[in-house]
A and B are shown apart, each in its own frame.
Chain A
Amino acid sequence: MALLAYVDNIILAGNHKEEIDRVKESLNKTFKIKDLGDLRYFLGFEVARSKKGIIMSQRKYVLDLLTDAGLLA
């Protein structure tokens, strides 16, 4: 199993579901976590999954940025 931490955002990856759940459980006991389920949106990029692979995109990030800058108004 692999774990990636970006300050308080954490990705858990692995082929052993029970192990992932165990880590979640012990993290929750010690720190209290918000379980966000499948990886969807992390550090501004969207993650979509299909049988063929994984797509990463910053579409939402760019749109939010344009909205903030008032370029979509």
Chain B
Amino acid sequence: MKYNCWRKVIQCEISDLESNQTWETVLRPKNKTVIGCKWVFKIKYNADGTVERYKARLAAKGYIQREGIDYLETFSPIAKMTTIRLLLSLASIYNWELKQLDINNAFLHGELKEDAYMVAPPRLASIQPRQVCKLRKALYGLKQVDREWFAKLSSFFISVGYT
């Protein structure tokens, strides 16, 4: 069937999220914001136009989160273009190697400090009636994920001895 590719990637993504212990299922709490969620689909193409892969990502509807109640801080530092140019200048002058890499699913590594509850994604097998997902790990779309990811990354570098 035509849509099987999407079914498959959704299933993969769900099992990744579950093995990452992104959430636990709990009874829906009273007087707490319960965040909606949705699937975001994207087809990645190779340079020659053929399909590289189908990508499904579960995103939380973070726009419902209220500052000061559901989250506190969101600021996260990123590199300025000037800083990048400085680094490249140094690399040029001292003839340094320049390597680059991506972190896979960076945001999913972040840990949530605040309690966050999310409506279960459609047809989640492990959920009972009147239950919701209590998030333990960050999920795309939440207000605080950028910050939590940066905190995780910088504490990692400190733990391995970089300053």
By a beta-carbon cutoff of 8 Å, the part of chain A in contact with chain B is 2-15, 17, 20, 23-24, 26-27, 30-40, 42-43, 47, 49, 53-54, 56
Contact = CB atoms under 8 A, between A and B. Distances in A.
Contacts of A15: 94-97
> Counting chain B CB atoms within 10 Å of each CB, which of A4, A34, A43 scores highest?
A4
Contacts, number: 115
A64 B61 CA distance: 29
27 contacts: A3-B157, A3-B162, A4-B79, A6-B78, A7-B150, A8-B106, A11-B100, A12-B97, A12-B101, A13-B90, A15-B96, A20-B97, A23-B160, A24-B101, A27-B156, A31-B103, A31-B104, A32-B105, A34-B101, A34-B103, A35-B99, A39-B98, A39-B99, A42-B100, A43-B81, A49-B98, A54-B88
A10 B87 contact: no
Given A3-B162, A4-B79, A5-B153, A40 B102 contact: no
